[in-house]
Amino acid sequence: MEPAAGPVLYQKLQLWEPNLEYEEEEEEEELAEPLVPDPWTSQDSSGNEVGGRPGAWAQLVAALLLLAVGFSLAVTQLQARGSSPGTSGSVAPPPSGHSHRLGVYHHSAIISPAATCSHQGRELLAAGGNVVDAGVGAALCLAVVHPHATGLGATFWGLFHNGSSGNSTALTPGPVQTLTPSLGLPSALPALRLLHTRFGHLPWSRLLVGPITLAQEGFVVDASLARALEAQGTEGLCPFLCHADGTPLGRGARAINQKLAAMLRRAARTPTPELAGDALLNLLAKDLKLERPLAEPMPTLEPALQLHVPQGVLYTTPSPSAGPELLTLLEAALHSGGPSPDSCLPQAPEPPGSSVLATVDSSGSVLLLTSSLNSSFGSRHLSPSTGVLLSNLVAKSATSAWAYPLILRDSLDDTEADVFGLVAAGSSAVASIMTHTFLSHLAAPQAEVQHQHEHQHLQGPTGNTSTCGQGTLLQVSAHAEHAHVSSIPKDCCSFQGF
């Protein structure tokens, strides 16, 4: 486990100008044979300058028009390479002049269920943040735009692997506690604040700029939230997610949560994880008219569980998450000799009220996060003072079986070792899919790993598995000095990187 003094700092990512090399090549070609005459130095057939003649102005206008058309085409081409809803991510040609398929990046990447939040995570990476900054920032963004699946009322588990030191650390939310018999006591803010305090690099307030703006100015309802509203209705969610007549907002509508924006602004000013939780709990106590002080469940950071295997070391989160169960399945499968011959696994339904995200950089640092409200929109109790949807995670339901993060480092001694990460949320069927995916990864010939990663955005990490499983499984890896991301199913999540 890393030393307690100070956060882990990664080397600041250097941005590059995507058109620099191409501009230099074009300049060489123009020196050899100018495509557009220079209106300031052009000469007529007699050798006299024509800058003072009426035709010079026509040449100048023609040159400007050609430049404008060229600029427009360049912008169009860059936009075509940008991200779009679904699985596509932003891909720019790397400095060396070669390019990759979607999901393969030179520096770092993030994958999450919402395109807006993947974009905000990428912005944090590009600003010099590390994988923890990007992951925590994206989690706070999802708390705004995906209230059916996660939020400040949710419970978070996390697994962080430091590619430089080779150490892995688990984020655990602490024992489940309740506000009332049916309302779970939230621990998201202190958990995310603790993770960032220990391992983040950018200022805490910087991570909240994007989420505050989305809550304050409004965010567009995406397909995932629209489906949840259509299926679950709006009871307890108005006026936040309703039209004036009480009908649910549809895809493309704009939702605003001013109270949540104010809550996030308060959280941005908190210097410690404890105060971050207190800022929310004080308002919740007022809303619920609770007379006695609330006991905040304090999250912790502790060494991850380890399992040494011939291929390296496996890491996951401790009990009461599903991590120990997953390690048991993997150990048994490895002992039996390899993946199941069945190419199609039992379907794993998407767990309601849960969310996953992952970030990775080319040095092998990885952050996997899972969160749960226990059911879609949690308890459906919208706090009037904070704009937070509380969970219905209580002692009877809090088995945390939905938390499945897994990381494999193939060598403890090699600072440039490959790192492979999987994260999912769901029932034991998801554990089977993760086991099959992991074993298929091990069985892939090493010479084909790069090829597989560059094509897996079309098929999912393990080819046929993506056509069978219906749960959400995210895969990230650091291989050959590149960061790789993908998902099952392939169109469930949005990834971005550079």
Q: What is the pLDDT of residue 397?
A: 57
Contact criterion met (CB below 8 Å) for 358 and 421: yes
Q: Per-residue b/e over 375-407, b at no fewer than 16 CB within 10 Å? A: bbbbbbbbbebbbbbbbbbbeeebebbbbbbbb
Q: How many residues does the chain have?
A: 498
C-alpha to C-alpha distance for 14 and 237, rounded to whole angstroms? 43
| The 3-state secondary structure of 159-228, one letter per residue | EEECCCCCCEEEEECCCCCEEECCEECCCHHHHHHHHHHHHCCCCHHHHCHHHHHHHHHCEECCHHHHHH
Q: What is the pLDDT of residue 407?
A: 97
Question: pLDDT of the chain along its 498 residues, tens only?
Answer: 444 434 445 443 333 333 333 333 333 333 333 333 333 333 333 344 434 445 555 565 555 655 554 555 444 344 333 333 344 444 344 444 555 678 999 999 999 999 999 999 999 999 999 999 999 999 999 999 999 999 999 999 999 999 999 999 999 998 888 888 889 999 999 999 999 999 999 999 999 999 999 999 999 999 999 999 999 999 999 999 999 999 999 999 999 999 999 999 999 999 998 888 888 988 999 999 987 667 766 899 999 999 999 899 999 999 888 899 899 989 999 888 755 544 444 455 556 789 999 999 999 999 999 999 999 999 999 999 999 999 998 765 555 557 889 999 998 777 678 999 999 987 767 788 888 888 888 887 443 444 444 344 333 333 333 334 446 889 999 998 999 999 988 888 999 999
Q: What is the pLDDT of residue 433?
A: 83
Q: What is the pLDDT of residue 494?
A: 95
Torsion-angle region of residue 400: left (phi > 0), alpha (psi -120 to 50) or beta?
A: left
The domains of the chain are located at 20-79, 104-218+256-497
Q: What is the pLDDT of residue 396?
A: 59
Q: Whole-prediction pTM value?
A: 0.78
- Per DSSP, the three-state class of 397 is coil
Q: Which whole-number Å values give the CA distances from 456 to 102, 268, 448, in the listed order?
A: 9, 38, 12
Q: What is the pLDDT of residue 352?
A: 78
Q: Which whole-number Å values give the CA distances from 115 to 83, 118, 315, 354, 376, in the listed order?
A: 8, 5, 28, 17, 20
Q: Which whole-number Å values give the CA distances from 360 to 157, 401, 422, in the listed order?
A: 17, 24, 11
* End-to-end CA gap in the chain: 29
Q: What is the pLDDT of residue 140?
A: 98
C-alpha to C-alpha distance for 461 and 135, rounded to whole angstroms? 21
Q: Which whole-number Å values give the CA distances from 126 to 18, 43, 343, in the listed order?
A: 14, 48, 39
The DSSP element (H or E) to which 145 belongs, if any, is helix 131-145
Contact criterion met (CB below 8 Å) for 138 and 120: yes
Q: What is the pLDDT of residue 91?
A: 39
Please work out, in degrees rounded to the nearest 5, the angle formed at the alpha carbon of residue 99 by the alpha carbons of 97 and 101: 180
Q: What is the pLDDT of residue 351?
A: 67
Q: What is the pLDDT of residue 5?
A: 38
DSSP string, 16-83: --TTHHHHHHHHHHHHHS-SS--TTT-B-TTS-B-TTSHHHHHHHHHHHHHHHHHHHHHHHHHHHTS-
Q: What is the pLDDT of residue 405?
A: 94
Contact criterion met (CB below 8 Å) for 497 and 122: yes
